[in-house]
């Protein structure tokens, strides 16, 4: 009987060690919400989400020994999803502003963005000063949407699910211009003849990663890794891969 108990105990110990070994081999998952319609920061290529944010997030996950999972969602559902805990963080060319800071926390800024204005060739909109009284197209819940609504009122704004649809509305003369981040603006203009980006900037802003207010532990871990990647030049290298220094 004692021999039987001893053998049983050994078997149980071996099983427990195997279970621990199995658990130890599994990395903690880091779920990042993005909107993959924002080149060169995030877009789909050959069925995979790629771009600046995707590569920086992968470097962060590697440094933290975590498994990165990127989820493509509507832009205006990123912050609510992070708030609710559905996603660990949001990274989608997100600008730090006062309204968003009421809902989520942000990491150190890793890039600077510019809100640009797209118009048709020959448009009478030459500078920001010419926007008054015009129909302005924006992507829902972006800073272009937020700032333009504050500056020109709800009646001047037409919202679209993404920048590509907003640009098609401009081509069809449904709006007079589109306010959107500079890098995707350049991509849209390159892909659609007869459009141009105005030389004047609408506004300059900082991009950062967002986290739920209560998840300070993850924010601190990711922020620490991000700061190291900025310091060693890795973030700059990724950005210049997609946006060559002029």
Q: Please check the confidence at residue 16 and state whether its pLDDT lies above 80.
A: no
Question: For residues 5 and 134, which has the higher predicted lDDT (pLDDT)?
Answer: 134
CATH superfamily to which 27-110+208-242 belongs: Periplasmic binding protein-like II (3.40.190.10)
Q: For residue range 22-66, what is the model confidence (pLDDT) as tens digits?
A: 444 678 999 999 999 999 999 999 999 999 999 999 999 999 999
Mean pLDDT confidence for 167-196: 96
Q: Please check the confidence at residue 68 and state whether its pLDDT lies above 90.
A: yes
The mean of the pLDDT values for the chain is 90
CATH code reported for the domain at 114-204: 3.40.190.10
Question: pTM higher than 0.85 for the full model?
Answer: no
All structural domains of the chain with their residue ranges: 27-110+208-242, 114-204
Mean pLDDT confidence for 101-121: 96
Q: Please check the confidence at residue 92 and state whether its pLDDT lies above 60.
A: yes
Q: Cα separation of 74 and 65, whole Å?
A: 28
Q: Three-state SS string across 22-91, please?
A: HHHCCCEEEEEEECCEECCCEEEECCEEECHHHHHHHHHHHHCCEEEEEEECCHHHHHHHHHHCCCCEEC
Is 27-110+208-242's fold the same as 114-204's?
yes
Q: Please check the confidence at residue 199 and state whether its pLDDT lies above 70.
A: yes
């Amino acid at each position: 009987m004692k021999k039987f108990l001893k053998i049983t105990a050994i078997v149980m110990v071996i099983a427990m060690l195997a279970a621990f070994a199995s658990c130890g081999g599994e990395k903690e998952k880091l779920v990042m919400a993005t909107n993959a319609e924002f080149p060169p920061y995030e877009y789909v290529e050959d069925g995979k989400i790629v771009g600046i944010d995707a590569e920086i997030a992968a470097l962060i996950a590697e440094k933290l020994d975590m498994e990165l999972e990127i989820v493509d969602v509507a832009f205006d559902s990123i912050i609510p999803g992070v708030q609710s805990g559905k996603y660990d963080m949001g990274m989608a060319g997100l600008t730090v502003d006062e309204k968003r800071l009421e809902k989520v926390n942000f990491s150190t800024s890793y890039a600077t963005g510019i809100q640009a204005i797209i118009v048709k060739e020959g448009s009478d909109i030459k500078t920001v000063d010419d926007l008054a009284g015009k129909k302005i197209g924006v992507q829902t819940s972006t800073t272009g949407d937020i700032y333009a609504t504050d500056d020109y009122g709800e009646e001047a704004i037409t919202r679209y699910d993404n920048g590509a649809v907003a640009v098609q509305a401009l081509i069809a003369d449904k709006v007079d211009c589109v306010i959107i981040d500079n890098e995707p603006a350049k991509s849209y203009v390159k892909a659609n003849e007869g459009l141009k980006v105005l030389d004047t900037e609408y506004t300059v802003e900082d991009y950062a990663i967002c986290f739920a207010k209560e998840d300070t532990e993850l924010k601190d871990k990711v922020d620490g890794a991000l700061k190291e990647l900025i310091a060693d030049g890795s973030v700059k290298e990724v950005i210049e891969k997609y946006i060559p220094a002029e």
